[in-house]
Amino acid sequence: MKKVITYGTFDLLHYGHINLLRRAKEQGDYLIVALSTDEFNWNEKQKKCYFTYEERKQMLEAIRYVDLVIPEESWEQKKEDVREFRIDTFVMGNDWEGKFDFLKEYCDVVYLSRTPEISTTQIKDDLGK
């Protein structure tokens, strides 16, 4: 079985997220999503989420492409996750192009193009938040 992992906040879930998850799942048989915790988002990314970690986790678990959701609690855990879960392919959006190439010694690294017309930032801006 070919295992794939991706990481993200997935707040204000939208069809761009679904496109990314669908295309990530196409890279293998089993998709793990490492979901940023509320603490990690606030302390490391200075992001306040609209939905809590548990709410975002519940939404991701309801998506047919997602097989397992795990917490992302630090930037450094990616290498550990790849080893622990025996990941074959690490997937991220192409806005992160090159940032995770250090993982290539452990697995394939794939950067997928984003859905250009939608983003959480755009939704927040449109709503005046």
> 76: which residues sit within 8 A by CB, 6+ positions away?
none
The C-alpha atoms of residue 6 and residue 28 are separated, in whole angstroms, by 12
From 45, 48, 99, 104, active-site residue: 45
Residue 124 annotated as catalytic: no
Host H or E run for residue 91? strand 89-93
Of 3, 25, 47, 99, the active-site residue reads 47
Q: Is 47 a catalytic residue?
A: yes
d(CA 6, CA 129): 27
The Cα 110–Cα 63 span in angstroms is: 21
Catalytic residues: 45, 47
